[in-house]
Amino acid sequence: MRKLFTSESVTEGHPDKLCDFISDSVLDSYLAEDENARVACETVAGKGEIIITGEITSKAEGIDIEKIVRNTIKEVGYDNSELDIDYRTCKISVNISKQSPDIALGVDKSLEDKEGEDVASEGAGDQGIMFGFATDETENFMPMPIYLAHKLSKRLTEVRKQNIIDYLRPDGKTQVTVEYEGNTPVRVHTIVLSTQHNADVDLETLKKDIKEKVINYVVPNELLDENTKYYINPTGRFVIGGPLGDSGLTGRKIIVDTYGGYARHGGGAFSGKDPSKVDRSACYMARHLAKNIVANGYAKKCEIQLSYAIGVAKPISIYVDTFNTSTIPENEIVDKINEKFDLTPRGIINYLKLQNPIYKQTTNYGHFGKENLEWEKIVKL
């Protein structure tokens, strides 16, 4: 049976991703000086203005948040207030408080520790459900639609920053529809790509350059055919972009950050949160578990759910679904997970080395599928 599935990605200049990048840049700056910093940094971007809010508790001193924001906007490539935003002149407002002492009570000392159990002392920073997923349909164990959408978005940024296409601006989006035969991806059905550009560029020139230097560079030729549809800047014009074209907000691209809608997602976003927040750290761990179940040959596809209660160290539940592709019973997979891995917040933080300032490299083009990250490493189960 043939079926279609679509996923989208965005460039680092998309207003929501700009906010994610700023929040993770602030987080990394604090972790570089204080590995135990508690950070929940939210960013809002609007016309000519960036607002930083949230809670930060840290021993780090002298962190210049405004400077971090301006440098991050510059790194993305925004320097024109008439088209998007200018890192030199935009207004920056900072409204940061400290972590609630009520939350800190449960994070600093877990319920199990208070009751005398031999469990790592920290509790989860919040209740929540977290999902991890992996499939063997691509080389990095990600679903094909989001795999290709991210590669297109990343390439769109590369051709801009390297002046391969010198008239592009930072904002952009991609979308890929893949046709499956059963559970096997067989061809790309449709590619949608919208990119911000300078006003004096001819649309036909842009379409030709994007097709040649972005799409054909990224998408394997065997997945394209004469019936593949292309929609490149389908509105015909995309000059005004970034926060001038649309407001931005941290945590609004959670499906882009994970599996492109191919697998389920919990309630929490990632960017701007230190690893004591299981919204982030437990999702990374769930991906690690799912990927290694597939990589070790126990299944062709795997989804894992972990759930936590605020102030409690151990997960409340572990759920495994291999979609009838497993080589051993799913309850045995759960047993292997429990035997090999410490799924308390402290256990996850130590195992994945999450107190290092690594988060800027996670922000764009997906938090999963990047081989240099700890949770993407393959281990023997």
CB atoms within 10 A of CB 116: 7
Q: How far apart are CA 15 and CA 242, in angstroms?
A: 5
Confirm if 56 and 30 have CB atoms less than 8 A apart: yes
SS3 category, 130? strand
Confirm if 170 and 330 have CB atoms less than 8 A apart: no
> What does the pLDDT look like over 247-261, one tens digit per residue?
999 999 999 999 999
> What does the pLDDT look like over 104-161, one tens digit per residue?
555 665 555 555 565 556 878 788 999 999 999 999 999 999 999 999 999 999 999 9
In the numeric block, the tokens 């972005």 are attached to 214
Which residues sit opposite 320 in a β-bridge? 304
Q: How far apart are CA 346 and CA 237, in angstroms?
A: 49
Secondary element (H or E) of residue 7: strand 2-10
CB atoms within 10 A of CB 200: 7
Q: Which two tokens stand for residue 52?
A: 């930083």
> What does the pLDDT look like over 49-108, one tens digit per residue?
999 999 999 999 999 999 999 999 999 999 999 999 999 999 999 999 987 655 555 566
In the numeric block, the tokens 């993305």 are attached to 76
In the numeric block, the tokens 């925004």 are attached to 78
CB atoms within 10 A of CB 138: 16
SS3 category, 72? helix
Confidence label for 311 from pLDDT (cuts 50, 70 and 90)? confident
Q: How far apart are CA 108 and CA 54, in angstroms?
A: 19
Give Cβ neighbours of residue 356 (< 8 Å, ≥ 6 apart).
31, 35
Query: By percentage, how much of the chain surpasses pLDDT 90?
Result: 90
Q: In what order do the strands lie in the sheet with 301-308?
A: 128-135, 301-308, 317-321
| DSSP, res 318 | E
